[in-house]
């Protein structure tokens, strides 16, 4: 994809963050460049232009930024998927696996109606644990998950493959080797 190659230049790489040996892929530089941000959003929604999408679900926190923009583009509602204890109303929750341990994500119990068509969004997919938990959470409420969209895929970590194995199409604009 030519656009992914052009967008890659707008992603900053920070070595040894958050720990030695990690190359952190920072999309704040992409978000800060109006042309790159607009291009990324347009490319992420392109396959669903003209389709009925009821909701876009964004994973905390960068998924909120991307998800809000995508929801606007496809004229849908937006659903925040947050870490446990951050939402004020009654929630449904799902535990998910981390590299070392687990965590819990939540969304409001009334955020999705059964049968609604949903696109899941986050900035990056690595091992896929958070996205897998979000898909299970959305399915628990009766959502039909149309796709999972990410700006960056780290294919060496297997997350996108894990999501595809769950029967959810994955769209990523670019890939980086390593972790």
The 10s digit of each residue's pLDDT in 11-36 is 999 999 989 998 999 999 999 999 99
Residue 166, pLDDT score:
98
Residue 126, pLDDT score:
93
Residue 55, pLDDT score:
98
Please give the biggest Cα pair distance in the chain. 44
Residue 98, pLDDT score:
76
Rounded to 5 degrees, what are φ and ψ at 57?
-105, 120
Residue 97, pLDDT score:
82
As a whole number of Å, the CA-based R_g of the chain is 15
Neighbours of 62 (CB within 10 A): 18
Q: What residues of the chain score a pLDDT lower than 70?
A: 1-5, 179
Q: Are 151 and 174 in contact (CB under 8 A)?
A: yes
pLDDT in tens, 113-136: 999 999 999 999 999 999 999 999
Q: What amino acid positions are annotated as catalytic residues?
A: 62, 99
Residue 179, pLDDT score:
66
User: Which residues 6+ apart lie within 8 Å of 88 measured at CB?
Assistant: none
Query: How far is residue 17's CA from residue 48's CA, in Å, rounded to a whole number?
Result: 35
């Amino acid at each position: 994809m030519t656009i992914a190659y052009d967008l890659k230049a707008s992603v900053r790489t920070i070595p040894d963050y958050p720990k030695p040996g990690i190359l952190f892929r920072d999309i704040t530089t992409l978000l800060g460049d109006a042309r790159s941000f607009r291009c990324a959003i347009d490319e992420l929604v392109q396959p669903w232009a003209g389709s009925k999408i009821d909701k876009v679900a964004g994973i905390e926190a960068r998924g909120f930024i991307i998800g809000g923009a995508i929801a606007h583009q496809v004229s849908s509602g937006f659903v925040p998927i947050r870490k446990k204890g951050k939402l004020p109303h009654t929630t449904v929750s799902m535990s998910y696996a981390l590299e070392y341990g687990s965590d819990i994500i939540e969304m409001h119990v009334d955020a999705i109606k059964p049968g609604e068509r949903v696109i899941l969004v986050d900035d990056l997919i690595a091992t896929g644990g958070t996205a897998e938990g979000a898909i299970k959470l959305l399915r628990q409420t009766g959502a039909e998950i149309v796709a999972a969209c990410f700006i960056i895929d780290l294919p060496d970590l297997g997350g996108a493959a894990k999501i595809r194995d769950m029967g959810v199409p994955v769209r990523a604009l670019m890939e980086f080797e390593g972790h």
